[in-house]
Structures are given as structure tokens and as C-alpha cells.
Amino acid sequence: MNSQEAQQKIATLTNELNQHNYNYYVLDNPTISDYEFDKLLEELMDLEKRFPEFCLPTSPSQRVGGEVTKSFAAVTHKYPMLSLSNSYNEEDLVEFDRRVKEGLQLNTSDLFSANEVEYVCELKFDGLSIGLTYVDGKLVQAVTRGDGVQGDDVTTNAKTIKSIPLQLHGNFPKEFEIRGEIFLPKKVFENINKEREQNNEALLANPRNASSGTMKMQDSAVVAKRKLDCFLYFLLGNDVPYKNHFENLQAAKSWGFKISKDSTLCIGINEVINYIHYWDKERHSLPFEIDGIVIKVNQYNQQLQLGFTAKSPRWAIAYKFKAEQVSTLLENISYQVGRTGAITPVANLKPILLAGTTVKRASLHNADIIEKLDVRIGDTVFVEKGGEIIPKIIAVDFTKRNSDSEKTVYISNCPECNSFLQRKEGEALHYCLNENNCPPQVKGKIEHFVGRKAMNIDSLGAETIDQLYNAGLIKNIADLYDLKKEQLLPLERMAEKSAQNLIEGVEESKKIPFERVLFAIGIRHVGETTAKKMARNVKSLNKLITLTKEQLLEIDEVGETIAESVLNFFADTENKLLVERLAKAGLNFELSEEQLQNASEKLKGLSIVISGVFTKHSRDEYKTMIEQHGGKNSGSISGKTNYVLAGENMGPEKLKKAQSLGVKLLNEEEFLNLIS
């Protein structure tokens, strides 16, 4: 086969296989067998290997994976990914309908009036929210929800999902974003757990967490094997074809997107409630998890008229199904030790199917809950999933209790290191105080230290930390900076490349700024925000160590508990030695010259609220600037607010409140001039 023939054959096979994918995943009408599809794909991949210059970016071979992503870049959403307000009963829905009609200036006196609103009802898929951007019909970026303002770029992994089209067909806009939910089908989830159980590996908790964890895997070939799926449900862009949500969904389906056939256009809230009644009974027959129904106003002009609150659109709401309850046998109670030494009692149950997944364990929270429920080993207990995810025991069936059952006595010693447990007055939890030698606490501290918001050492996951700890290579966070490549190579599953990545990741972490290092070292009660405040105030760790309790209390957001915790941490000899080793290793324990130069007190004592969308800097960058110049970021407008940094599409409620309180609005230029 010559080059010209190969190029033509590759193009033909690519188009043919993409059409078969569309038939299977979107139309649910396959025209060839899986075997025939696989043979065609093998032929294409063989040709692409021999003639790589003709491989198309839309080739289905892209879905096999193989590309490794060391880190996932943060991306600011062009359109913020807001969360939805929740409802749990029909009264909430009727009230939502009333607010919608009132906002649209329609008649609200009669539920069945001629002024009924068009709503689109959709299944609320239980997975990972994703935003897909297409340019000229090609997938160019896939971004997770993140915090709603920015998410992670997971494009490489998204390309492995066969229901996400790489190339569209039909009359689609030049550029647009479509949002949806990546999920793990129930059958796939069960098969993965069966395989993990056979290999003595920890079972995946639930399909939602499994979906999220899979999309953050570094090896896209592993992602491809997980067989994730994706429904799309929301179109965004300047030139979408129709003026309403439902018709645009049907258009998106014709371009190649997988749109749920169960999305329905309802006229009025009564039809919405009937739709909910149907799916409340039928949801467990679905091949994937749902946890409710999403209701959206259909017409875009009405959505625009209704607008947004600070956190959610006024034109949409999520109805959450009530948690399913089952009864089962409590076989025994075990106790887990957390990173901070907190003890969590866990009920080990006779396996039971609950809301589509097999449940074997449930949290008992603390000694007070055990006492309140009077739960005992051998009891028949009622279990439900809080938010359809976390199983919890809600009651005991006392009619089935054995006459010889014994009252549960809470443990007095740590199950890991046998240290005596302590429960402080006013606290619900028991604690193991052996924080420097209790294995789960030590490993938990290291996991916290290497986390994304702390030192961000990607190559150090929980399994690797466990392996290093068990091999005696690390006993605390400072030991990470003494690791040598030759120490790692003899370890199981630690190849040359993995060892090199780990060493490089540890070395790269030395560039992390002081405020994140302060958060990473794990002072109890010192969270991410408090660490920032303290770092900006004291400028260096040497200064922080010298502060008295009274001086600590002068720092914004530092109260009695945090002040005492900081003093106790640095009074501990082992912690002092640990910090000295980290400083010697080259970690940043003071603000950089650049940070010091950019800092000022121009906003000292000022409370500033940020609202809207910005062009010159991201919201997070503006928050950092406010803190650098001594100001305080606030989430809501009140009489104490000094300024509102207002971008485009500022929430109408915030604007109204700012005007009523006489709070001055600053645009980007005015704010930057204020701190320049």
C-alpha cells in the first residue's frame, strides 16, 4: 500500500468507525457487532502505526489512551459553573414555580392558569460535571467543575470516553461549550469491584467517586479501560441555533452528542411533579445512578429575566429523592484513626444492596451517637445513604434484639498504637495523642503534606506513601527530602521512571510559597485560609514562633483555639526539629522578595466583596491581591462592606443590596488603580 492509498484508507476507516460510535452511543442502534468494530479499529491502528503522518486528531484510536498527564492545569471557566439550589418535597417545587412566575410577572394566583411556564425535566446524573469546548466541530478542551470558577483540564482523559464525540457532524456553531455528567454505569462499577476484591485491593466506594477519581488518573490508558460514559445536557455559546433549552438539546443530539432520551418538556409544575413521581419509582431500574431530577425554565429570554443569585440560577432547581432505607445485621464495630488522631467508630454490616450499591460498612460517628442509638453488636439496624452516598445507621430494630446482647463499651486505647485515648470536654470525638508514632496519623500527615493545596507532590499518592512507610524509608514529612532514587528502585511497582518522577516532584515542591508550606506542616485547626492570613501577617516562620498568644489573637481569623494550637505545636520538641529539617532541605519559610514587594497596607481594615466575571485577572488572583494589600475578602454584602469589586454579570441581588446600603462599586480599572 502506497502513501496515497494509506491516507485515503485511514480517512475512510476513521469516518466509518466514528459513525459506528454515534450509532451505538447516541442512537442506541448499533449496525455491526463489537467483534467487527474491534477488527476495523485494529486495522486502522495498524495503518496509523505504519503511516503516523496521516493519523487524524478525530481518530477513534485516540480513545484507547496511552498518553500520561503529570499534572492537570487549572482553567478558569468562560461561564461559571454554578451549583443548583435543592428541594426535597413538592411544596418546595410549588414555591419555586411561584417565584418563577413572580419573577416573570405572570399570574401566580392560579396553579392551573393559562400562564403556565415551560420547564425541561432531566434526570440528575450522579457523576462528575464536565464542560466540553468545541471549535469547528472538534473537541479542544474538557474541564471539570472544580470550585465553579475554575476546574481542571482533563481533555486527554475525556477523549477516551466513547460517548464524547471528537468530531461533530451537521450544522453546529463555530465555537460553543456543552456541559454534562461523566458517570460509571452500575454494571461496570460492579465488575471493577469484583476484580479488585479478587486481587485483595480496596473496593471503590461508589460510582460517583469512582468517576471523579478516574478522570484524575495520570495514565489515560487506565481511564479508557474504566469504560466511563457521558450524558450532555446544557449548551452555551453566542450563536446557539434555538432560543430555548429543549430544542438546543435535540440539535446537539443531531451533531453527535449523547442526550438522555428521558429529558422531557413539561408545561407547568403539575407535569413536573408527575414526572418526579414516575422516576422516584423507576430510578433503580436505570443502568446508572441518579439522585434526583433537575428542573429548568425552557425559554432563554425567561432565564435571562430571572437571572442568578450569588450561588445558583433562579431559573433552575434540583429535586433530591429521599434516601432509601434498608435493614441488616450489625456484625461488629471497628475503629479507624484519622490524620489528626480522631477516632471514628465503623459499623461492619452483613452486605446489603442499598440505592443500587452493595453496602458493607457505615459510620457510627462517635461515642455519643452509639449511646444515643443504643446500638450493639448483633442488632438489626436500619441503614440509609445520606445524600445517596455515605451509608449511616439511623435506628435499631429493638424487636429483633437478642435477650443476651451486651451494651457497647467504647474503646479506651488506640486500635493502632495502643495509646490511651483522650476526649476533651465539649468535644464529641476521642483522640489518640501519639501523633508522631501512631502509623495512621503519621501517614495521614504525610498525605496532607503532599496534597494539591499544600506541597502538591503529584507522584506521592496514598499507596506510595504506605509503601514507603512500611519499607521504613519515611517516618515523617521531613524524611521525604532525604529520599534517594536508589532507595526507591527495589520497591514493588517502582520502575525507573516512577522513581525519577517521585524524586523530581519532591524537589519541585521546594518552590511552594510560605503560606502553603505553613498549611502543609499540619498545625491543627490551621486551614488554608488561616495559613495565608498568618503568613501575610508575620512574613516568616521565625517571627511566627516568637509570637505570644495575645499577638497571635491580633491576626485576622485567629481565635483562642487556633492560637493555642499554634503555641502547642511549636512548643513540641519533635515539631521544632521537623521544621528545622524542612528549612535545611530548602523549603520556603518566609515570604519571597516578590511577595514582599507586592505587599502593602493600602486596603488594611477594608472589607471587599467580589462579584461578576473579570477579564484582566481571575477572581482568585483578585482575592490574592486583596489579601496582599491588607484587605479582607468577604462573601456577602453587609453594612461592614467597604467596596464591591464588580465585574460583568454581577448578581442582581448583590447589586441591589450594594445600592441600598450605599456600598461603592469598583470596576477592574478602579480597583487596580487603588492598589497601584
Q: Of 165, 207, 203, whose CA–CA distance to 188 is shortest?
A: 207
Which stretches does DSSP call E strand in 2-161?
A: 74-76, 86-87, 118-125, 128-135, 138-144, 150-152
DSSP string of 24-40, one letter each residue: HHTSS--SS-HHHHHHH
Residue 154's SS3 state is: coil
CA angle 60, 62, 68 (to 5 degrees): 165
* DSSP element (H, E) containing 179: strand 175-183
DSSP string of 415-449, one letter each residue: TTT-PBEE--TT-SS-EE--TTT-HHHHHHHHHHH
DSSP string of 232-246, one letter each residue: EEEEE-TT-S-SBHH
Q: Of 165, 146, 226, 212, whose CA–CA distance to 23 is shortest?
A: 165
* Measured distance CA(395)–CA(380) in Å, rounded: 9
* DSSP element (H, E) containing 283: none
**Which position among 39, 49, 70, 124 bears the catalytic label?**
124
511 has catalytic annotation: no
Q: Which residue has the cell 470596576?
A: 667
* DSSP element (H, E) containing 19: helix 3-25
Q: Which residue has the cell 432547581?
A: 317
How many C-beta neighbours within 10 Å does residue 470 have?
A: 12
* Measured distance CA(383)–CA(361) in Å, rounded: 10
Residue type, 302: Q
Contact 117/98 with Cβ under 8 angstroms? no
Q: Of 554, 505, 80, whose CA–CA distance to 311 is shortest?
A: 80
CA angle 366, 372, 375 (to 5 degrees): 80
Cell numbers for 403 = 435477650
Residue type, 167: Q
* Measured distance CA(517)–CA(173) in Å, rounded: 46
- For 61, residues 6+ apart whose C-beta sits below 8 A from its C-beta are 41, 44, 45, 48, 55
- For 165, residues 6+ apart whose C-beta sits below 8 A from its C-beta are 18, 21, 22, 139, 255, 256, 257
Q: 643: alpha, beta or left, given left = phi > 0 and alpha = psi -120 to 50? A: beta
How many C-beta neighbours within 10 Å does residue 577 have?
A: 12
Distance of CA 78 to the CA centre of its chain: 19
How far lies 402's CA from each of 28, 346, 372, 617, in Å? 53, 21, 19, 65
List the catalytic residues: 124
